[in-house]
Amino acid sequence: MTPKPRKPTIDMVASKSEVSKTTISRFLNGKYEYMSEETKKRIQHVVDELNYRPNNFARSLKSNKSGLIGVVVADITSPFSSILVKGIGDFCNERGYQIITTNTDEDPSKEREYLESLVGGEMVEGLIVNTTGKNDDLLSQLGSQGTPIVLADRAMEHLEFDTITNNNYGMTRDTLNHMTESGFEHVAFFTQAMGANSSRRIRHEAYLDFYEYEPGDAPYVYEIDTNNSRAVIESIQAFIGQTQGHTRAIFAVNGVVLLAVVRGIVELGLKMPDDIGVCGYDDWEWATLVPPGISAIEQPSYQVGLEAAKRVIARINGSKAKAKVIELPSKLHVRGSTTLK
């Protein structure tokens, strides 16, 4: 129970080692060029003895570098995000950065608040954002004021920042193609409200293109509220009603929707894939467990995180490369739910 040992400062180290703090500072920053072995050793000794660590704020104040990267995700509890954050963290920590994670709950005003608070006080050197899509203006502004920004998974309307996503369009098309080849005559598109979410929109677009529907008149697009299981079930029933006598399947726009859909199908006692096929994003752990196995698309979240981190750090270090979109490959796992006998 020591009373309250004040953290040692560079001055204490200096006086204990009987050199100036300039020398200590040199030592700490590895500038040994003109330093005698003698003093080097002495300093090392004192540093160890005091267990001295330089104060980050003083350093940051001087250098204008915090060693912090801000990460703004829409929903940290989704496997996509938590794996993304892990990828970001792994890369950043390796390079000596720490990450500040904030969770917007898909709420644009929270997003706004966090963005402002993170860059406002010079807190972070760069930003990785999984945006709600409703703060393009603010992001633009922050970017033009000099904060390096990288978008993860969801793009902005105008390409302005490096954007790491997966090949949403191509993968959706390939999956629908697989459905056709499997023999499904009608495929519905189940989605949450698409709002400004670019991934959802692109998947939707790929769906419309594949079946050559006009935007206004696609018969089997269902926007569902995943928290309302009754409504989900009703949508499934409506789709079935519209496709009597045909083979049919549901494509889920994301993992949450896929879960809700499968839940509904199980509840209705329908048999997959004969009564109805199912596939979609995302390939979460349970997809193999529910008989007959749910076909699902695995996104490279971890790699997205890694790549996003790599790009912000490059920008922080001065890269002026033109902003570009990087599409990482995802993977369709075909299972029983889309395998018609």
Partner DNA sequence: TTGTATGCGTTATCAA
Partner DNA sequence: TTGATAACGCATACAA
What does the binding site for a second copy look like in residue numbers (CB under 8 A)?
A: 1-2, 4-5, 7, 53-61, 66, 68, 76-77, 79, 81-83, 85-86, 89-90, 93, 98-103, 114, 116-118, 120-123, 144-146, 259, 262-263, 266, 284-286, 288-291
Cβ nearer to DNA, comparing 54 with 183: 54
Q: Which is nearer to DNA, 29 or 319 (CB)?
A: 29
What φ, ψ does residue 12 adopt, rounded to 5°? -60, -45
- Nearer to a second copy by Cβ, of 176 and 294: the residue is 294
CA distances (Å), 189 to each of 200, 206, 218, 245, 264, in order? 11, 11, 9, 19, 15
Q: Choose among DNA, a second copy, none what residue 259 binds, the Cβ cut-off being 5 to 8 Å by kind.
A: a second copy
Least distance from DNA to the Cβ atom of residue 44, Å: 12
- State the first-to-last Cα distance of the chain, in angstroms, to the nearest integer: 73
**Coil, helix or strand for 9?**
coil
For residue 75, the minimal CB distance to a second copy (Å) is: 8
The amino acid that residue 155 corresponds to is: A
**Quick check: helix, strand or coil at residue 213?**
coil
Q: How far is the CB of 57 from a second copy (least distance, A)?
A: 4
Contact partner at residue 285 from a second copy, DNA, none, CB < 5 to 8 Å by partner kind: a second copy
Closest distance of CB 164 from DNA, Å: 32
What, of a second copy, DNA, none, does residue 182 touch, CB below 5 to 8 Å by kind? Answer: none
Indicate the residue among 125 and 186 with the shorter CB distance to a second copy: 125
Instruction: Give, in order, the Cα–Cα distances in Å from 48 to each of 9, 32, 37.
Output: 13, 18, 16
DSSP string, 98-135: EEEEEE-TT-HHHHHHHHHHHHHTS--SEEEE---SS-
Concatenating the DSSP letter of every residue in 243-312 gives: TTTS-EEEEESSHHHHHHHHHHHHHHTPPTTTT-EEEEB---GGGGTSTT---EEEP-HHHHHHHHHHHH
> Which residue lies nearer to a second copy by CB, 62 or 341?
62
Q: How far is the CB of 105 from a second copy (least distance, A)?
A: 9
**7 vs 246 by CB, closer to DNA:** 7
Residue 317 site contact among a second copy, DNA, none (CB < 5 to 8 Å, cut-off depends on kind): none
Note the residues at the interface with DNA (CB under 7 A).
6-7, 9-11, 18-23, 25-26, 28-29, 33-36, 38-39, 52-55, 58-59, 61-63
The burial class, CB within 10 Å (0-12 / 13-18 / 19+), for 101 is middle
Reduce the DSSP state of residue 163 to 3 states and report it.
strand
Q: For residues 84 and 155, which CB has a smaller minimum distance to a second copy in the complex?
A: 84
Contact of residue 11 among DNA, a second copy, none (CB under 5-8 Å per partner type): DNA
> Residue 77 binds what, of a second copy, DNA, none (CB under 5 to 8 Å, by partner type)?
a second copy
C-alpha 44/C-alpha 215 separation (Å) is 69
Kindly state the smallest distance separating residue 101's Cβ from DNA, in Å: 25
> From the list a second copy, DNA, none, which binds 82 (C-beta under 5 to 8 Å, kind-based)?
a second copy
Q: Please, what is the minimum distance in Å from the beta carbon of residue 38 to a second copy?
A: 27
How many CB atoms are located within 10 Å of the residue 9 CB? Answer: 15
Check if the beta carbon of residue 90 is closer than 8 Å to that of residue 303: no
Q: What are phi and psi for residue 32, nearest 5 degrees?
A: -85, 0
Query: Of 23 and 235, which CB lies nearer to DNA in the complex structure?
Result: 23
Interacting partner of 26 out of a second copy, DNA, none (Cβ under 5 to 8 A depending on kind): DNA
